[in-house]
Chain A
Amino acid sequence: MARYVANRLAQAIMLLVIVSAIGFAILHLAPGGPLSQFAVSGQMTQEDLDRVTKQLGLDRPLPIQYLDWFGRMLKGDWGKSYRDGEAVLSVISSHLGATLELMATATIIAVLLGCWIGILGALRRYSVFDTLATVGAMIALSIPTFWFGLVTIYVFSVKLGWLPAGNRQTIGDGSFLDLLHHLIAPAMVLALVETAMWGRFMRSSMLEVINQDYIRTARAKGMPEWRILTVHALRNALLPMITVAGLQFPTLLGGALVAETVFTWPGMGRLFLDSIGYRDYPVVMGILMFSATMVLIGSLLADILYAVVDPRIRVG
């Protein structure tokens, strides 16, 4: 087990180095590179630009610059926002809570609903329910999240007036009920794609398990059907879902960005888009690197957790 974890950890660190190199390349391949913010103002002479280049160490060879940049990233120095001079990491962390709240709620909805649909679909394979669920999942995966958000706002806010059209709370309120009221629509919209994916993976995982020999043995022993399903089938079918949770993470983050935009939710995705609008590159790059690192850690945790619960994995 320790060897597996060490191995997987080494892989993740190597991946982090490549990810950071890509991030660094994006920053430097951009027209004007890290200096573009000064160049666009047009008030600086070439001499000024040269001086800033020297001050920021941009005249050094790229590999040295990269090592320097990567070292500072590891130490938690992610630069300062162009907008207000605040440290990038503290800007991100002040918006992270709202995003995590949204992602967690959507995940809970998606896991419960998706697993239920998937299990039922597998048990009643090719039934009307299963067919509808399969077709519905495909459509759900094809709907642009932002458009589904617009339709949700139109139906539930404009027409029915049940839910607020955006924001995290009513100004001056902020009670638990008020927060919940604002959370429903964006979480529902974000959960749509996730539910479809969980449903599909759950269905195929369950189908794989219920055709195994040990299920037939359990039936042959005369074990009651509910016990076979819950104790034997479900427990094993749920295991691969840990991997699915890890795989979902990038989609979930991307979906959160879109849902936050439509519902003016003050999270990391909104911050990302605002920063792009302001050409606030340190924050843009910071969030890009932050989200990639989150995905990396997420898949690392999923793999380790899977190995903990399923001993067969550790050998491979």
Chain B
Amino acid sequence: MTTVALLGNPNTGKTSVWNRLTGGSAKVGNYPGVTVERRVGALRKRPDIEVVDVPGAYSLVARSADEQIALDVALGLDGEPAPAVVVVCVDATQLVRSLYLLLQLQELGARCVVALTMADEAGPAAPNATELAHVLGCAVVPVVGRTGVGVDALASAIVTAVDAGAPAAPIVRWQPSPALAAQIATVRAALPATWPQTDALAVWALQCVGDDELIRVPAEVRAAVARAAPTAALDDEVIAARYRWLDEQVAGLAKAKVDRRRTARVDRVLLHRGLGLVIFGAVMFVLFMSLFAWSEPAIAAVETAFGWLGDGARAVLPDGVIEDFVVDGVIGGVGSVVVFLPQILLLFFFLGLLEDFGYLARVAYLMDRIMRTMKLSGRAFVPMLSGFACAVPAVMATRTMERQRDRILTMLVIPLMTCSARLPVYTLVIAALFPSHTVGGLSTKSLLMVGMYGFSLVTSLVAAWVLARVVKPLRAKRLPFVIELPPYRAPRMRDVVRMMGTKTWAFLREAGTVILACTIALWALLYFPRELPAGSPDYDAQIAAAPSPEAKAELEHARDGALLENSYGARLGHAIEPAIAPLGFDWKIGVGIIGAFAAREVFVSTLGVIHGVGDDEGSLRKHLANERKADGTPRYTPLVGLSLMVFFALACQCMSTLAVIKRETGGYRWPLFVFGYMTVLAWVSSFLVFQIGSLLGY
């Protein structure tokens, strides 16, 4: 199998070109050692040629493992075969800057083909492809990703270059100074035999190695770089030499200045001090409401469909363990995965549109000032906002951030946002345990709800601020935060829809399986041993003899409560009671907390069953309000309610969130960290609330 790598700066229409070349059907995986998506597809024209879509990069110089991908793929240093041809997407409106990457590749001896994108947009500023090809010494094919014009010619040029097969020689356009030449010689002698023996690779090592987080750099290379002792002057020399050549040879090929008037006019509105922020607020409102509220019918439809499926299975299967396993474990478990799809699809629909249009970069630009107070960048805004609807799509949206460190820090605080699954818990607690008062015309109950939102916002901001200082891998590096503000462009629907499909499939395959397995395990924990405790009345006989449907339902609820009380999960709830008693919780709340791992709102139904009232929330509210301790005082006071809400606000009671963090970070380290720090935070906060409240006499 021959591979071809597709590289280019961000915003050069690279994804469109890749979709056009391959037809968009991708094998998606991760690059070894890093969690950056590796997309591979067969070239339509020649299915024996695979095209790898490499993440956008401005340069091959790298400091972190995810930036290193571009070099590793281009040279085959990651264990995959080196590509026969490297296709470089060059933006005709940003000719000099996007050719910088090409020069680096040619110096390293990669056989390059240039896909000249955005030529239609550049208009008279676009260079003549033949002249450019002559200057660069490689094929140049103008393509328009949006319409597909030129894609056939590009595919032919790729096939021709692949078939030519002759080894490409490095093309270097500048002479190193004597000092640099000596440094290059030192490092080149230390390059491992499996790496290409080029001066350019030595230059790369001299620029990148030292104070880096690169992987797969041999110790001999590190030692040689340390001996050569490169300084900032080396960067000046190398980078200036490349740009000098580009300025002299290429800049003149653009016969006119790129017309940015249309983008400038749109920016005058969208980035306006007043109007721009109003429009920003409106766009974010639509995005948020679509996740939070407008996805509701689709979510309800998924739940109804799986409900029918469960009822159908119940009708067919004989009563017993198998039936309960299939209906509550498997069908319920698959439902709990599929139920995320409406929000995931909607979020990536909006993200795709906004990114292609060029607005996502503007969101980062507008919000950077606020987000940097938390040691994050403006790119973190949309994922964090989405966290108020659901942490699962929000964590997936962190892929729009280019730096691993920013992605992880954002993922760590997203689960603190008040997601919609916490609302049923808050609603139950507030309705059942808090008296109705009005303060200044507002009911205390709604003020409490607003207060919980404010609480989660403040804790997430504080958590980001603290984590960025305390957790070593998250300490901010002094790197410039540069956002390119690309020209506004009409989004290409097909690319957006493809991306939605890719994301959904990746979620189902990698996170969905974990969520399903956890749901089944949790079901078993709260189901087995399925025996009534010793000394229970014979419920089944009583149910059969029940005089009225109401009496029958009551007996069934009592039986289900007794069965759950005797389950392994409930025994666990009893066992953890000493740990949660200082928070004001009894073992029944403990069982609810265990059940809530499936999804936070399950707390309500689990609590209903354990209290023997079934799934009727109205009777559960009454039951909770009237439950007494042995001394006749209410068991669940408003203080217990407050402590419980604080616990739910802060604890990571959600295995789906943990599963998706595991997928996005590629290991168990970060999900375990999230679970650990949030549990400790929740326990300590609830402890303080309950103990201080008790001391104050509440």
State whether these chains interact. no
> Which residues of B line the A interface, CB within 8 A?
none
Binding site for B on A (CB under 8 A): none
